[in-house]
Amino acid sequence: MTAKVLTVQAVDKLKPDPLVRREIPDAGMPSLYLIIHPTGRKAWCVRYRFGGRTRKMMLGPYPALDLPEARDRARDAVRILSLGRDPGAEKIEAARTVRARPADHDLIVSVVEDFLTRHVRKHNKPTTAATATQILHKDVVPIWGRCKVTEVTRRDVLDLLDGIVDRGSPVMANRVLATVRKFFNWCVDRSIITASPCAGVKAPSQETARDRVLSDAELQLVWSAAERVGWPFGPFAKLLILTAQRRDEVAGIARSELQGQGAEWHLPGARSKNGLANIVSLSDAAQAILHGLPKIKGDYFLTTTGEGPIRGYSRAKKRLDDEIASLNDGKAIMAWTFHDLRRTAASGMARLGTDPHVVEAVLNHRSGTISGVAAVYNRYQYLAEKRAALEAWAAHVQHILREAEA
């Protein structure tokens, strides 16, 4: 059977064969299969090879385990396999450990700590782990802590989210749902519960995806304001513009991450949002900024202590906004964020004729034009293309500045 990328609608519409069990491969996540029993029951599994043998690991039933979460679990299994370990054997061992635990270990307060220790802090960046820890300790444990995991119902989840919305934090309610959903799915995976009470629960609040792109005039104002702000947040803002990388990634840029005589920034997966390493070609303008920074002890370029990267983004943004207003007859730029500089750079490179897949490579995205099976097998780094794109973007930024001075 030719594998196709499964969608939620396709999974719902797939019908059973009354005589045989069907296994439908998902091209969106190689190794993931949807099993359809003659009775109509559906479930997910991962097929893989380990020790020279073909093996199968069951992930969970559908729709209790939806398509995105099934792909996440399959991705975790493939990652474990890439480390030379058998994901199926580890799942069986985890289930044995759960059965051997004392009864009080099934309380939410205890299982949350297991979840944080065994999963969150192992498989996420420190900042992501800290956010999950805060959400669970602040919004979940105080309410459900003395309940058993098996006692929490879908109604309990909805009541929890309603309470957060009612206190005036609708977006936080969405974040809590995402974290709680991962927690209960982990509990299913560990055989602590058989189904997640979050199944079918929708995000309580709608969020509008940002699409803010600064105009050339606005970009010139940000750059000029950065000149006035100076060290360390002035160079930081300029590097955000020139590299198109994320805020925390740029803030933590280190000397040890530069290669090719300073022309390449090798961002490790441990510091990237999606966990994927990226080679960022530094334009001549970006290199000049880094070379001109004060020499402070330690490995970080952007640091005031030598012991860690810069922080205090809100204060830095306010200083930039104040300088922008000063440069612009008291007028501020319409609501913008540091992340908008990344989107502006991406849009700018596209305007300059950079192919979409190259822009995605610069951004370290694995979606859109480089997705599914292509993302698994396409390991070409597009180094030359990325360098050309970022040099062209830097030249455009310099052109904007010269035009403003003329």
Per-domain boundaries in the chain: 8-97, 101-189, 216-405
Whether 8-97 shares its CATH topology with 216-405 is answered no
What percentage of the chain reaches a pLDDT higher than 90? 62
The pLDDT tens digits of the residues spanning 144-184 come to: 998 999 999 999 999 999 999 888 888 889 999 999 999 99
The two most distant CA atoms of the chain are separated, in Å, by 78
pLDDT at 380 over 60: no
Average pLDDT (57-81) is 89
Which class is domain 8-97? alpha beta
Tokens 């055989």 appear where? 191
Average pLDDT across the chain, whole number: 88
Rounded average pLDDT over 273-295:
93
Domain with residues 216-405, CATH architecture: Orthogonal Bundle (1.10)
Residue 373 above 60 pLDDT?
A: no
CA–CA dist 262, 219 (Å, integer) = 26
DSSP assignment letter at 139 = I
Is-contact 31 74, C-beta < 8 A? yes
Match 């009612």 to its residue by tokens.
166
* Long-range contacts formed by 117-120: CB under 8 A, 24+ apart: 119/186
Query: How many CA atoms lie within 13 Å of 214's alpha carbon, on the beta-carbon side?
Result: 25
Confidence of residue 378 (pLDDT cuts 50, 70, 90): very low
- Looking at the predicted structure, is the pLDDT value of residue 2 above 70? no
Task: Name the phi and psi angles at 278, rounded to 5.
Answer: -145, 140
pTM of the model: 0.56
Of all helices (H) and strands (E), which one includes residue 267? strand 264-267
Class of the domain covering 101-189? mainly alpha
